[in-house]
Amino acid sequence: MTLAGVVLLALAGVAGILLTEVGREVGLFWAFGLAFGFVLQRSRFCFASAFRDLFLFGSGRIMKGILAGMAVATLGFAVLMSKMVPNPLPGVIAPEAHVVPVGIHLILGGILFGFGMVQAGGCISGSLYRIGEGYVASWVAFGGILGGLGLALHSWNWWWRFHIGRAPMIWIPSFAGYAGATILTLFLLLCAYLLILWWESTKGVILPEVPAGAKGTDFLHRLQDLWEKVFRRGWPVVTGGVTLGVLNILLYVAHMPWGITGEISRWAAGFSRLAGFPPPALLGVDQLAGCTLTLGGNRLITHTLTLDVGMVAGSLIGALLAGEFRIRIPPHPRRYAQAILGGILMGYGAGIAMGCTIGAFFSAIPSLGLNGWVFGLSLLAGAYGGVQVLKRIP
Amino acid sequence: MKLDVRGEVCPYPMMKALEAMRQLPEGELLEVLTDHPPSLETIPPLANQLGFAWKIVEKGRGQWAILIAREAGIIEEALHA
């Protein structure tokens, strides 16, 4: 299996060179996609678990990794945004920053998404990297996500007229400056971290990383140990979070923060057209950044496409190198129902909230937008509800 | 006692393993069969915390058995049997 991983890695490299011929960014984003997928797979970076396990087991292991990643990205994003927009006057927002209107759509979207990801056993990024690992249920969940995004495309204009078009975009540097916004964000992340420490101590299960024994101290053994640490065993979750945070900064340097949903909504629009229900022209989306719904342009191969597909490929390579790839078929038919219904809720939630756990949370809080916090708290509420239901499904 | 959670994803392997550990009779071995790699990082620490010994045994491609018992000796015995 390791050999297959090496061969696939080489093929992915060749594909990268060919894609660069299509467009410089198309190739670059392919490389980013591979890296994101690889790191997600290696560190089992599951946002659904992060939110769910707080309530199910009283464990904040993965959430602490997410907080670390966002803290790193906050610093990088702040430096980058202050170079692009030296004076963050009211009404101005840094280009490509994931700042979107704050309102009911964000709260409802977050609750639906949080509930759905707990049922489906993974969020959108989670489903993508698990497809690469061979999980059949994640394909089903992904189908649900496309369906949910399709529904969101058809109801977007109603949402825009009713609410989103009038909801305020709140970018913290506009009134606190970059220093103030960065310090406030880091302080809130620290508070969240401490809250989790307290929650774990009173509630439940503290899951320390399983220590791995070194084999020997000579060079060959240490080399083998390094190989095992990087490619065979799971990474500590904080290592994963920080690596994703750094990759996110680099992606923003290259073009834009990490996001997934916008591209997948383009696929949903395509399927909707094929099914004979073409979605209408979307109101207001050209004024919005982040992972806002899109119908797509004329080009098929875009940088966002290679980013998302690259994530699946990167995860597949990681799983093969680790000897973890396996076609996994759910043992009960009800798991398929959970995957598809959870997927639909996630897709619709991500559609109206303009992003998933990545674009509307992991990239939004470092973008210094209030929307990231509102969406994050709504995810928490949705996951709490999801856990109450999940406990009753054997 | 055998617990086959192959095909299940988080949180089911951990939920079922937790239930099984609580019901595990004194002196018996619990064998959790899984193909979900994150379980290898969640079930052993859980076992630790509940005062169980554990060992991971690879069972071919992408499958593992997590052996869990109240005393490490029971696991060693099973491994050598």
CA gap A345, A147 in Å, rounded:
9
Q: Which residues contact A139 (CB under 8 A, 6 or more apart)?
A: A131
Cβ contact (<8 Å) for B7 and A328?
A: yes
Per-residue pLDDT 10s for chain A (394 aa) are 889 999 999 999 999 999 999 999 999 999 999 999 999 999 999 999 999 999 998 989 999 999 999 999 999 999 999 999 999 999 899 999 999 999 999 999 999 999 999 999 999 999 999 999 999 999 999 999 999 999 999 999 999 999 999 999 999 999 999 999 999 999 999 999 999 999 998 876 666 665 566 667 889 988 998 998 999 989 999 999 999 999 999 999 999 999 999 999 999 999 999 999 999 999 999 989 889 999 987 888 999 999 999 999 999 999 999 999 999 999 999 999 999 999 999 999 999 999 999 999 999 999 999 999 999 999 999 999 999 999 999 9
Closest to A329 (Cβ–Cβ): which among B7, B10, B48? B7
The domain of B43 spans 2-79
* Contact call for A130 and B9, based on CB within 8 A: yes
d(Cα B20, Cα B18) in Å, to the nearest integer? 5
CATH number at residue B42: 3.30.110.40
Report the pLDDT averaged over residues B47-53: 89
| Residue in A44, A205, A234 nearest the CB of B46 | A205
3-state percent breakdown (helix, strand, coil) of chain B, nearest 5? 40, 25, 35
Q: Which of A53, A210, A322 sits opposite B45 (nearest CB)?
A: A210
Sequence-distant (≥ 6) Cβ neighbours of residue A389 within 8 angstroms = A115, A118, A119
Are B23 and B68 a contacting pair, CB within 8 Å?
no
Contact A210/B38, CB-based, under 8 Å? no
DSSP code for A159? H
Q: Which residue in B41, B52, B68 has the most chain A C-beta atoms within 10 A of its own C-beta, making it the best mutation to test that interface?
A: B41
Please report the pLDDT score of residue A207 as a whole number.
Answer: 65
Residue range A55-97, pLDDT digits in tens: 998 989 999 999 999 999 999 999 999 999 999 999 899 999 9
Residues with Cβ < 8 Å from A236, sequence gap 6 or more?
A43, A65, A209
Q: What is the DSSP letter of B69?
A: E
Which candidate, A378, A371, A357, A375, places its Cα nearest to that of A171? A371
Q: How many C-beta atoms lie closer than 10 Å to residue A388's C-beta?
A: 13
**B contacts of A209 (beta carbons < 8 Å):** 41, 45
The runs of H, that is alpha helices, within A163-260 are 173-203, 219-227, 237-254
Q: What is the rounded CA–CA span in Å between residue B59 and residue B6?
A: 12
ipTM comes to: 0.89
* Positions of B marked catalytic: 10
Residue of A nearest to B41 (CA): A210
Cα gap A379→A391, rounded to integer Å:
18
Query: Measured between beta carbons, which residues in chain B are less than 8 angstroms from residue A4?
Result: none
Cα dihedral A366, A368, A369, A372 sign? positive
Q: Model confidence over A252-268: pLDDT tens digits?
A: 999 999 999 999 999 99
What are the φ and ψ backbone dihedral angles of B76, each rounded to 5 degrees? -60, -45
Q: What is the DSSP annotation of A325-365? A: ---B--SSHHHHHHHHHHHHHHHHHHHHHTS-TIIIIITTT
Flag whether the pTM goes above 0.90: yes
- Residue A255 is given by DSSP the state T
- Partner B, chain A 81-140, Cβ-Cβ below 8 Å: 121-122, 130, 133-135, 137
Alpha carbon distance A139, A117 (integer Å): 14
Residue A223 contacts B where some CB pair is shorter than 8 Å: no
CA distance A272 to A276: 6
* E strands present in chain A: none
Number of domains in chain B: 1
Residue A252 C-alpha from the chain's centroid: 15
User: Residues of B with CB below 8 A from A390's CB?
Assistant: 11
